[in-house]
Amino acid sequence: MATIPVGRLTRSQIVLLATRKAGNTQLGANSATEGADAQTILNQLLYDLATQYNWPFLNVSATLTLTSATFSLPSDFLKAANDYSLQIFTIDQQAQQFFILEVDRATFDAASFASQAGPVAGIPRIWTADRSAGTGSLFPDPTGHVMSAVLRYQQAPVDIDVTTAGDATVPWFPWSMVLVQGLYAYILEFEADGRADMERAKFDKMLEGVRQAAQPLRAQESVIPLDPMVFKTPFRGD
């Protein structure tokens, strides 16, 4: 059975290598009660990598039971995997097989206002994510029905504990030496070191290489999706 690749270095090893390279190991001198700058910077680096790029190994799924116009998004929800991420399997214990399409909030609101009575049977056709509330909204309102569903999404990994309790943790990002180089570049920028630009360029080159390796041919979409900021998913229920 194929497994997700994991890194080879722990957080403490990554921090030690980067701070030694930068010539200032005190930046990584954390304790049992507080973290140091290097641990904080590494968490920020991991957050940037998770939120700014698509990584197949961060794609997960969650089972849901939908009974009303809103549902709770998973606590680690970052964004839906694609337009067809919300799939229905049963309605009132009867087998079904269809997708509820994700749309932007403006399209969702327009559909709600345009159809005061709601389509027949109240079976949802579209949904949108309210990230400020941590919920998803469905239209039409399925109240009165019980639907089982699965939501496929990209997760946002939690930060590693900056104290020594997190030292043995292996970060979710499997290319450890890229993290060493990235942390090293961040430290140089933090200290206004003249080597920062050159080392940042090295990090960017390493990152581009692993991004290509992380996207196997059959894991890529065959058609490049349109920019959702320009081209919106059409709503055909008007």
> Alpha-carbon distance 15 to 9, whole Å?
10
Tell me what pLDDT residue 189 has.
95
pTM, to two decimals = 0.81
Round the average pLDDT of the chain to a whole number and report it.
Answer: 88
| Sequence ranges of the domains in the chain | 11-55+173-215, 58-155
Tell me what pLDDT residue 2 has.
46
State both tokens at 21: 């390279």
Query: Among 20, 47, 35, 48, which residue's Cα sits nearest to residue 187?
Result: 20
> Alpha-carbon distance 231 to 212, whole Å?
26
Tens of pLDDT, residues 99-140: 999 999 999 988 877 666 544 458 899 999 999 999 999 999
Q: Please tell me whether residue 233 adopts helix, strand or coil conformation.
A: coil
